[in-house]
Amino acid sequence: MLGEFAKYAFCGLKRKRRNFERSVLKYVSIKIPALTHSGRKSRVCVNQPDRLTHPAVKTSPLLLPFSLPFCFSCLSAFPPLPQHPSPQGFFLSAPSGRLWPMNKPSTQASSPLLQLENLSVTFATADGPLPAVRSVNLCLHEGETVCLVGESGCGKSLTAKAILQLTPPNAVIEGRILLHGQNLLELSEKKMRSVRGRQVGMIFQEPMTSLNPVLKIGDQVAEPLKLHQGMGRSEAREAAIDLLTEVGIPAPQSRYDDYPHQLSGGMRQRVMIAMALSCRPALLLADEPTTALDATIQGQILRLLAARCRERRMAVLLITHDLGVAAQMADTVGVMYAGRLVECAPAQELFADPRHPYTQGLLHAAPSARSRGLERLPTIPGSVPSLANMPAGCPFHPRCKSALARCAAEMPPAVASGAHSTACWLVSQP
């Protein structure tokens, strides 16, 4: 059996392998934490840029030979889940003691930059309406980073696309999306085009499909400058080269005329960041900006994003399935399940005291590059409900070990305790 870049489907592949007595599983992955739970007799090969290192029998908790600098850098680059924050407000991110500072925006004195009020997205189909996002309430202030986490299909990316009205034609968006106090849902498509790029930038999930394959990357970076800033061709070219330099593209003058297929995945993602930041927007929507990137490149991209947003006091809505990334980057973390925001809290508080059973399950199931890797990862029983057959009451109750009778009958409201909001009857009942 061969599984290539199967993300966290590794455990499922292992279960399939057990059905065959003499089967062999070859798994290609950039996710080292998943490999730490591959089994006692597993062997791991590390492919360096110039050669394949010797296979290592998995006998140690850290799995890879730390005598090799490349292996050590790969392990160190993976952001871990925090065990406890330091008194200075930092999270430890590597065995070497390297620290990534968290933003500390003063959210109390300012009005929200972006405010989502009862945001819902419903798809009109031949079989009836399908609610994909339901009653999401969220606020972002200037300089704040908010992460949305959850399983695939829970509505994270759709929430971000709904803000810019980039949803499919059969999607109906309801509620209010307030940007600087103005409801974006009341704007015409012509006015929304002036909002996209100028006031709100977006980094899409897959740069290879987001970039135009027949246009030079420099021209794609220069396009929003000419459209929104009114620059001429030569001025936009110079500004685009400066942006490519700013995001770490080597030899930007010559790279300007390259096409997307001539760049690596990390370079393409840097081009997407340059495009999103070109008009210095107040809000940046980043939809899984490190998908399919290896650990070292992922760290570079995250540090680049954090530095540029901190310099420009930009608010960031970051979509990710990686809880380690959320712990490193976020001031506030929102957990989504089946289209609903089930828990939202400051990052330090949420990781120290998760209250919703789903959040607790996610944290327990998260693999770690520094775990022993010999024990079986805990899982959340059951599967995510279908949009066409959503259970009554709380959508998580069929999978919840602590569900009450009330959970199957009534949808729990979001109850706030300070800055910590949880939609669960276990939390809200006396």
Task: Encode pLDDT of 291-308 as tens digits.
Answer: 767 777 888 888 888 888
- Ordered by where they begin, the domains of the chain are 110-199+281-368+377-385 (3.40.50.300), 209-279 (no CATH)
- For residue 318, give both structure tokens: 């970051």
Does 226 have pLDDT greater than 90? yes
Q: What is the pLDDT of residue 188?
A: 94
The model's confidence at residue 335, banded by pLDDT at 50, 70 and 90, is very high
The helix (run of H) or strand (run of E) holding residue 82 is none
Which of 38-52, 186-200, 327-341 comes out lowest in average pLDDT?
38-52
Structure-model confidence comparison of residues 174 and 325, the more confident one = 174
Q: Is the dihedral of CA 410, 416, 421, 426 positive or negative?
A: negative
Q: What is the pLDDT of residue 83?
A: 53
Residues in the chain: 430
Q: What is the pLDDT of residue 354?
A: 95
Rounded to an integer, the average pLDDT of 67-90 is: 50
- For residue 220, give both structure tokens: 């794609």
Q: What is the pLDDT of residue 98?
A: 33
Q: What is the pLDDT of residue 74?
A: 57
CA 167 to chain centre: 19
pTM, 2 dp: 0.80
In the DSSP assignment, the letter for residue 154 is: S
Q: What is the pLDDT of residue 295?
A: 76
AA letter at 264: S
The mean predicted confidence, pLDDT, of the chain is 81
The CA distance from 64 to 176, in Å, is: 50
Which of 14-18, 86-90, 227-231 comes out lowest in average pLDDT?
86-90
Which of 119-133, 195-209, 312-326, 370-384 comes out lowest in average pLDDT?
370-384
The model's confidence at residue 8, banded by pLDDT at 50, 70 and 90, is very low
Characterize the bridge pairing of strands 90-92 and 56-57. Answer: unpaired
